[in-house]
């Protein structure tokens, strides 16, 4: 027993000695720059790729026992590394960012299975150029006066780069090398370049693109440079440095013969050249008016103060001066513009041709062919006159459709002249040469049998003739062809040889239209009503047959003032200008503050030569609100230019009323063709008082007939004068009369007599000799049922005999 205890004690002491003799493992310290050891003073670039082998833990155990490696991190930090426990290889498992975390604390450990040794290490994260410069405090908006001196600084931009070293240094430059601005490359201060100026009237805003660039650095093994851009908006502030500016120059005005004193001739418009802070402007006439004209100092409206007959000159050269109303102590800027006003005659009379009996637009003359060249057509007495004055009375004359054959003298007329027509080409005036076309037929025969003669016939042949031998087709000397009346003719040409054999061909002749009609306005153009926001339309008709002779273009030749209306040249629609959107705006334009305007419109065709017609149009302008107050007035205004629209509406309303009346009458009444009486379609039943109770007596006959109809005998009553008694063909009366009084209740004796009641009857059964008690009907017998019963009995009487 003691021996066992001592053995255990000795064994424990031995084990204690062995444990105390097992030394702990340790890391190797290989110094700075080493990639294995205990990670002392180890640094790693932030652009190291994830998954890279970055370090190897290296240590030893004095007893040579196997060792294992471990690495751990504080719970509040990221675990960016992992380690192979056997070989100590450390791998990067998360991306590094020096700008967010420039050092990493880790705990590394080495163990031999019995002893665990730990060390706390700090890994430095080195910078890589992975950040671009960034502008702060954007956006950049600057207000700069336009009179700032050249070289003055206006703003400073600032950009930062979180990298270190050269990658974190920032320099500035402008993207546009031709900008009037410059930037300091180190400080970012923007300045106006030397010799450069700002002008609010020319450019109110400048946009400067500034580029910030870092100094460059290494990233993933390559040298890279990052940059960033920003835009600086420079708003130029206006200062008073510009004189007034006139708008719409040059200025020309016209005073017509019907202009009234006090009427506005034209409007001069000027504004301060400094658009940002404009000053008010006053207008005045400097010279040249001679008291004939005045100007409104606030609006610039120039008005004539005398009638055109009192004006001494044909042209007035005025000078209008505008002056800015500047603050006290500041010089007042001024400007002067010339204005030309011409006194003109109103061109409202077209040239008119006159014959011996007055105005005439068609002249006819018969003459022989081949007249001498230069001969005057003396049979024509034509005078042309224009009632306008001055330049408006000057016009040109030309021949249409006969150029080269005749010549008109004079070609230019002032006011009035005698028109002379002279033969220009005698050879062209040849009866035989005035052909329309040549028609030729070929006969295969020769000699006498091959001769062909031509003739024409048909509905369109009366205006033409044909040469019997040559086949030339001419117009009749008296024929007058008009493409507008008949544009196409057709007839038949017969070619016949000497034997009598012939052939027929159909000829179609189409007239080429000549521009011989001028556009004509309708009567509705004299006055129209315009609603604000909607156009009025004018229309002219050109009676020429073909395009472009019958296509019409529209224009406004004169309007006072000229800046109120626009016209669509193709459709003839007249609109108010976009700037006029209310009646108040119109009242400010016209001195009379009314809304009735007179326009001179022109319709011009597109033929060659072109003809035109002018007309005076009066437009009454109103607004939709005024029309909505009176629907009837709105309707009358809408139908004013088209009276047939109102007539059509009235006719349509009357037709609707008549149709409804006819439908109601047709559904309610009908006409009896025999009596020609109008009767209601449905029976008109007048409610009557209840009739007295009636009885029906039925007499049974001893008969073997199985038919129920043979078991009754109808006793005849005195005929009723109110109906036709025994005619089955006669129509039933429209309604049944009242029932007769009850018949006698005495039994019938002897042979049964056939009787037909007029309306109703009493039927008595033959089963008993005693008179039965009368059976009272529970309700009155309706007259219509009695009539139907009577009709059935009457038909049975004529078909069979009852005994």
Q: What's the average pLDDT block by block, 10 residues per block, for the chain (803 residues)?
A: 71 63 84 86 91 93 91 90 94 91 92 90 91 93 92 94 90 92 94 91 92 91 92 90 86 88 92 79 87 92 89 89 80 88 79 83 72 77 79 78 74 83 74 49 53 81 81 77 78 82 82 82 76 85 86 89 84 85 71 72 89 88 66 58 71 88 74 64 56 51 45 48 44 44 44 38 38 43 53 58 41
- Residue among 98, 133, 95 at smallest CA distance from 224: 133
- What is the Cα–Cα distance from 428 to 421, expressed in whole angstroms? 15
| Polymer length in residues for the chain | 803
Contact 307, 292 (CB under 8 A): no
For residue 344, give every residue at least 6 positions away whose Cβ sits within 8 Å of its Cβ, in sequence order, or none.
254, 255, 256, 257, 390, 391, 392
In this structure, what are the phi and psi dihedrals at residue 383, rounded to the nearest 5 degrees? -125, 135
Do residues 389 and 364 share a domain? Answer: yes
C-alpha pair distances (Å), 34 with each of 37, 56, 103:
7, 9, 18
Do residues 528 and 636 share a domain? Answer: yes
Q: For residue 506, with 0-12 CB atoms within 10 Å meaning exposed, 13-18 middle and 19 or more buried, which class applies?
A: exposed
- What is the Cα–Cα distance from 426 to 575, expressed in whole angstroms? 54
Give the global pTM. Answer: 0.38
In this structure, what are the phi and psi dihedrals at residue 461, rounded to the nearest 5 degrees? -90, -5
Sheet hosting strand 502-510, strand order edge to edge: 452-457, 488-497, 502-510
- What is the Cα–Cα distance from 641 to 455, expressed in whole angstroms? 54
In this structure, what are the phi and psi dihedrals at residue 433, rounded to the nearest 5 degrees? -85, -5
Which three-class secondary structure state does DSSP give residue 663?
helix
Q: How far is CA 508 from the centre of its chain?
A: 46
Do residues 462 and 556 share a domain? Answer: no
Do residues 666 and 698 share a domain? Answer: no
Half-sphere exposure of 18 (CA within 13 A, CB side): 7
Within a domain: 87: yes
C-alpha pair distances (Å), 300 with each of 305, 315, 323:
15, 20, 12
Within a domain: 316: yes
Which three-class secondary structure state does DSSP give residue 117?
strand
- Sequence-ordered alpha helix ranges (H) in 419-527: none
Q: What is the DSSP string of 5-73?
A: HHHHHHHHHHHHHHHHT-PPPEE----TT-SEES-TT-EEETTPPTT-EEEEE-EE-TT----EEEEE-
- What is the Cα–Cα distance from 316 to 291, expressed in whole angstroms? 11
Contact 56, 36 (CB under 8 A): yes
Q: Which domain holds residue 494?
A: 435-510
In this structure, what are the phi and psi dihedrals at residue 40, rounded to the nearest 5 degrees? -70, 130
- Residue among 653, 643, 750, 740 at smallest CA distance from 697: 740
Which three-class secondary structure state does DSSP give residue 709?
helix
In this structure, what are the phi and psi dihedrals at residue 431, rounded to the nearest 5 degrees? -60, -45
Do residues 265 and 326 share a domain? Answer: yes
Q: Is the dihedral of CA 441, 443, 444, 446 positive or negative?
A: negative
- What is the Cα–Cα distance from 567 to 748, expressed in whole angstroms? 109
C-alpha pair distances (Å), 210 with each of 103, 399, 690:
35, 74, 114
- Residue among 146, 371, 344 at smallest CA distance from 238: 146
Within a domain: 15: no
Which three-class secondary structure state does DSSP give residue 267?
strand
Contact 320, 268 (CB under 8 A): yes
C-alpha pair distances (Å), 398 with each of 114, 607, 794:
132, 15, 103
- What is the Cα–Cα distance from 283 to 295, expressed in whole angstroms? 7
Q: How far is CA 365 from the centre of its chain?
A: 56
Through-space distance between the first and last CA atoms of the chain, rounded to whole angstroms: 164
- What is the Cα–Cα distance from 366 to 381, expressed in whole angstroms? 14
- Residue among 204, 196, 103 at smallest CA distance from 151: 196
Domain end point (choices 475, 510, 545)? 510
Q: What is the pLDDT of residue 776?
A: 43
Which one-letter DSSP state was computed for residue 400? S
Contact 18, 26 (CB under 8 A): no
Within a domain: 538: yes
Do residues 261 and 304 share a domain? Answer: yes
Do residues 220 and 273 share a domain? Answer: no
Contact 454, 437 (CB under 8 A): no
- What is the Cα–Cα distance from 108 to 102, expressed in whole angstroms? 19
Q: Which helix (H) or strand (E) holds 161?
A: none
Rg (CA), the chain: 61
Kindly report the number of other CB atoms within 10 A of residue 127's CB atom. Answer: 20
Q: Which helix (H) or strand (E) holds 655?
A: helix 643-668
- What is the Cα–Cα distance from 606 to 516, expressed in whole angstroms? 12
Contact 159, 153 (CB under 8 A): no
Half-sphere exposure of 408 (CA within 13 A, CB side): 19
Domain end point (choices 608, 625, 641)? 641
Q: What is the pLDDT of residue 740?
A: 45
- Residue among 138, 297, 155, 133 at smallest CA distance from 226: 133
- Sequence-ordered alpha helix ranges (H) in 555-623: 583-589
CA angle 691, 697, 701 (to 5 degrees): 160
- Sequence-ordered alpha helix ranges (H) in 545-642: 583-589, 624-629, 631-638
Which three-class secondary structure state does DSSP give residue 660?
helix
Do residues 120 and 77 share a domain? Answer: yes
- What is the Cα–Cα distance from 576 to 801, expressed in whole angstroms? 101
Within a domain: 5: no
Do residues 104 and 53 share a domain? Answer: yes
Do residues 141 and 53 share a domain? Answer: no
Which three-class secondary structure state does DSSP give residue 457?
strand
The CATH number given to whatever domain includes residue 207 is: 2.60.40.60
Within a domain: 190: yes
Within a domain: 750: yes
- What is the Cα–Cα distance from 407 to 384, expressed in whole angstroms? 16
Within a domain: 80: yes
E-only strand ranges, 73-192: 81-83, 89-92, 103-111, 116-126, 134-135, 140-145, 153-156, 159-160, 170-174, 181-183, 189-192
- What is the Cα–Cα distance from 58 to 145, expressed in whole angstroms? 72
- Residue among 98, 91, 103, 87 at smallest CA distance from 42: 103
- Residue among 438, 439, 365 at smallest CA distance from 402: 365
Domain end point (choices 510, 541, 556)? 510
Structural domains counted in the chain: 8
Q: What is the pLDDT of residue 673?
A: 63
Do residues 493 and 526 share a domain? Answer: no
Q: For residue 21, with 0-12 CB atoms within 10 Å meaning exposed, 13-18 middle and 19 or more buried, which class applies?
A: exposed
E-only strand ranges, 189-333: 189-192, 205-214, 217-219, 222-224, 227-237, 245-247, 251-255, 264-267, 269-271, 281-287, 293-295, 301-304, 315-324
Do residues 556 and 499 share a domain? Answer: no
């Amino acid at each position: 027993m003691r021996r066992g205890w001592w053995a255990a004690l000795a064994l424990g002491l031995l084990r204690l000695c062995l444990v105390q003799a097992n030394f702990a493992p340790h890391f190797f310290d290989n110094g700075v720059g080493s990639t294995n050891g205990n990670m002392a003073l180890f640094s790693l670039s932030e652009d190291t790729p994830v998954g890279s082998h970055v370090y190897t833990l290296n240590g030893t155990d004095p007893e040579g026992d196997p060792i294992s490696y471990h690495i751990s991190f504080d719970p509040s930090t990221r675990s960016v590394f992992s380690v192979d426990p056997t070989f100590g290889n450390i791998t990067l498992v998360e991306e590094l960012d020096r700008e967010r975390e420039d050092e990493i604390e880790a705990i590394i450990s080495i163990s031999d299975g019995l002893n665990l040794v730990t060390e706390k290490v700090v890994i430095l994260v080195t910078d890589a150029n992975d950040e671009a410069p960034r502008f702060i405090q954007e956006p950049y908006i600057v207000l700069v006066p336009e009179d700032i001196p050249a070289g003055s600084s206006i703003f400073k931009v600032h950009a930062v780069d979180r990298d270190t070293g050269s990658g974190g240094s920032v320099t500035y430059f402008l993207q546009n090398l031709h900008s009037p601005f410059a930037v300091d490359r180190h400080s970012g201060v923007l300045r106006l370049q030397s010799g450069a100026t700002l002008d609010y009237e020319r450019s109110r805003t400048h946009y400067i693109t500034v580029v910030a660039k870092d100094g460059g650095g290494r990233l993933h093994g390559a040298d890279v440079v990052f940059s960033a851009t920003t835009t600086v908006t420079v708003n130029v502030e206006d200062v008073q440095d510009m004189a007034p500016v006139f708008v719409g120059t040059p200025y020309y005005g016209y005073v017509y013969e019907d202009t009234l004193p006090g009427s506005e001739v034209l409007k001069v418009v000027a504004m301060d050249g400094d658009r940002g802070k404009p000053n008010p402007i006053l207008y005045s006439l400097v010279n040249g008016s001679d008291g004939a004209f005045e100007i409104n100092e606030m609006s610039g409206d120039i008005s004539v103060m005398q009638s055109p007959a009192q004006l001494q000159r044909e042209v007035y050269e005025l000078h209008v001066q505008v002056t800015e109303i500047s603050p006290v102590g500041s010089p007042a800027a001024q400007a002067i513009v010339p204005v030309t006003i011409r006194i003109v005659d109103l061109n409202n009379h077209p040239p008119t041709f006159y014959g011996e009996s007055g105005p005439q637009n068609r002249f006819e003359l018969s003459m022989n062919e081949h007249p001498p060249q230069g001969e005057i057509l003396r049979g024509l007495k034509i005078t042309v006159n224009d009632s306008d004055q001055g330049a408006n009375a000057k016009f040109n004359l030309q021949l249409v459709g006969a150029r080269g054959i005749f010549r008109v003298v004079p070609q230019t007329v002032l006011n009035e002249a005698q028109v002379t027509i002279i033969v220009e080409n005698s050879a062209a005036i040849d009866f035989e040469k005035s052909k329309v076309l040549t028609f030729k037929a070929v006969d295969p025969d020769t000699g006498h049998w091959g001769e062909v003669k031509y003739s024409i016939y048909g509905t369109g042949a009366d205006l033409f003739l044909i040469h019997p031998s040559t086949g030339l087709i001419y117009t009749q000397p008296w024929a007058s062809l008009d493409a507008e009346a008949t544009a196409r003719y057709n007839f038949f040409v017969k070619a016949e040889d000497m034997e009598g054999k012939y052939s027929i061909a159909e000829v179609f002749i189409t007239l080429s239209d000549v521009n011989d009609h001028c556009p004509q306005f309708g009567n509705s153009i004299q006055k129209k009503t315009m609603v604000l926001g909607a156009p009025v339309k004018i229309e002219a008709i050109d009676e020429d047959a073909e395009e472009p002779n019958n296509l019409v273009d529209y224009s406004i030749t004169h309007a006072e003032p000229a800046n109120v209306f626009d016209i669509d040249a193709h459709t003839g629609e007249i609109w108010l200008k976009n700037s006029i959107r209310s009646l108040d705006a119109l009242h400010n334009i016209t001195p009379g503050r009314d809304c009735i305007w007179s326009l001179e419109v022109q319709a011009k065709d597109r033929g060659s030569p072109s003809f035109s017609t002018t007309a005076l149009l009066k437009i009454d302008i109103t607004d939709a609100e005024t029309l909505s107050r009176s629907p009837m007035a709105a309707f009358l205004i809408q139908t004013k230019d088209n009276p047939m629209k109102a007539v059509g509406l009235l006719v349509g309303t009357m037709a609707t009323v008549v149709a409804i009346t006819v439908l109601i009458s047709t559904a309610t009444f009908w006409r009896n063709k025999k009596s020609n009486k109008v009767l209601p379609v449905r029976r008109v039943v007048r409610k009557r008082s209840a009739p007295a109770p009636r009885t029906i007596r039925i007499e049974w006959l001893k008969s073997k007939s199985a038919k129920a109809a043979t078991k009754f005998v109808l006793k005849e009553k005195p005929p009723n004068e109110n109906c036709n008694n025994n005619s089955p063909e006669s129509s039933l009366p429209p309604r049944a009369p009242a029932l007769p009084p009850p018949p006698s209740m005495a039994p019938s004796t002897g042979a049964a007599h056939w009787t037909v009641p007029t309306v109703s009857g009493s039927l008595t059964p033959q089963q008993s000799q005693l008179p039965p008690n009368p059976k009272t009907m529970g309700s009155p017998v309706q007259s219509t049922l009695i009539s139907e019963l009577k009709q059935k009995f009457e038909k049975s009487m004529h078909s069979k005999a009852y005994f």
